[in-house]
Amino acid sequence: MTRRVAVTGIGVVAPGGIGTKAFWSLLSSGRTATGPITLFDPTGFRSRVAAQCDFNAQAEGLTPTEVRRLDRHIQFALVAAREALRDADLDLSTVSDRAGVTMGTAVGSTIRLEQEYVIASDSGRHWLADPHHALPFLDQSLVPSTLAAEVACAAGIGGPAMTVSTGCTSGLDSIGYAYQLIEDGVADVMIAGASDAPISPISVACFDAIRATTARNDDPAHASRPFDAGRDGFVIAEGGAVLILEELDTARARGARIYCEIGGFATRGNAYHMTGLTREGLEMSAAIDDALRQARLNPEDVGYVNAHGSGTKQNDRHETAAVKRSLGAHAYRTPMSSIKSMVGHSLGAIGAIELVACVLAMQHALLPPTANYETPDPDCDLDYIPNVARQRQADAVLSVGSGFGGFQSAVVLDRLGRRP
């Protein structure tokens, strides 16, 4: 018999606030956390806006050694994991042999690697980087698996551990794979999430080169405009989020507070193009259909869609087409919004951050809006909850993601008690 998976704890580091309370305050009010890039001098770049975290590592409980040793995205993950474990009120020592970690990231330790190359190469004056000037633990920044290893080490658990890197679907995929490990009986508890800190010259230059990011530099607060006819690209962001997943009977036995359960997860690749998307949304629709089938839900059961909603011309059209293909006529009656309008697009981290937003939306019976929505696009004709949060209880929530490389993923959250 298939084991069911509950969400018992959440933690988040996001633009606009550290922790779920500050995060939800931002989303529910429809405020934006996008502004000018300050983490480096962006003069000369096409896109000079970002959604940055107001993050003080030592104030958040990290030691000076951790701050010096770990890239910014790993620092985010440790803080988010600690909040999620506190929220779950979980004593890991009782389940350490049945617990694991899955973490997602798109670009890993980009900031640390770039900074260290500048130092070791004397600002690029020497083709060969001098290892004598590099940090002694620079090797840890090279391998993305360090993210999961550090979270597992901090939590003191030695079960399955992996880092997932599937571009912008990394967060959804990381949590989806954790769900499958519990469902299959490999683990009873999983620390699952994602983190990215890509606001660095090389990352911004990459997206500048393909014109994926917005050039609305004169109005940073309104630069992220998913589904709006005037959208011109996403706002790069940073952040991290962690969910504690538990086998449902195990969680019930210890008297855990259960937010909801994960009903289904599916992912597809389009085998088409690194950045291009098929206009019909076939692959995303296939992932949605499979996730709903696993959850034993009909399209009419979906009460809210948390959109990928990056704010690029092709993504928003593609996603709208996919949702209409999967939900049929019900798509026009289903509220759908993109929180990237408020917290930007933190690449691999955003899927996990969005799932935390979904959990909070279910808890508070309030659906976050799509900020900065002014002018409808005929190709995007669904209910995107423009600008103001909507009071509504959603018992089943669908969250979707789309990533470079053609990755398309979907996760279904279901309120406990809807199924036997």
Residues identified as active-site: 168, 308, 345
Q: Please tell me the distance from the alpha carbon of residue 115 to that of residue 328, in angstroms, as a whole number.
A: 49
Q: How many CA atoms lie within 13 A of 196 on its CB side?
A: 30
> What single DSSP character describes residue 360?
H
Q: What DSSP string describes 195-249?
A: EE---SHHHHHHHHHTT-B---TT-GGG---TTBTT---BPEE-EEEEEEEEEHH
Q: Please tell me the distance from the alpha carbon of residue 65 to that of residue 387, in angstroms, as a whole number.
A: 42
Single-letter code of the amino acid located at 270 = N
Structure tokens at 214: 């917005």
Q: What DSSP string describes 391-408?
A: E---SEEEEEEEETTTEE
Closest by CA to 182, choosing from 235, 250, 231, 129, is 250
Structure tokens at 61: 């409980």
Contacts of residue 183, defined as CB under 8 A and 6 or more positions apart, other chains included, come to: 2, 3, 4, 5
* Three-state DSSP class for residue 356: helix
DSSP β-ladder status, 239-247 and 99-104? unpaired
Which residues is 246 bridged to in the sheet? 6, 189
Contacts of residue 110, defined as CB under 8 A and 6 or more positions apart, other chains included, come to: 71, 197, 198, 200, 202, 203
Structure tokens at 391: 């009071």
Taking the CA atoms of 284, 289, 295 and 301 in sequence, report the sign of the dihedral they define: positive
Q: 234-243 burial string, b = 16+ CB within 10 Å, else e?
A: bbbbbbbbbb
Which residue reads 């000037």 in tokens?
A: 133
CB 175 within 8 A of CB 187: no
CB 375 within 8 A of CB 386: no
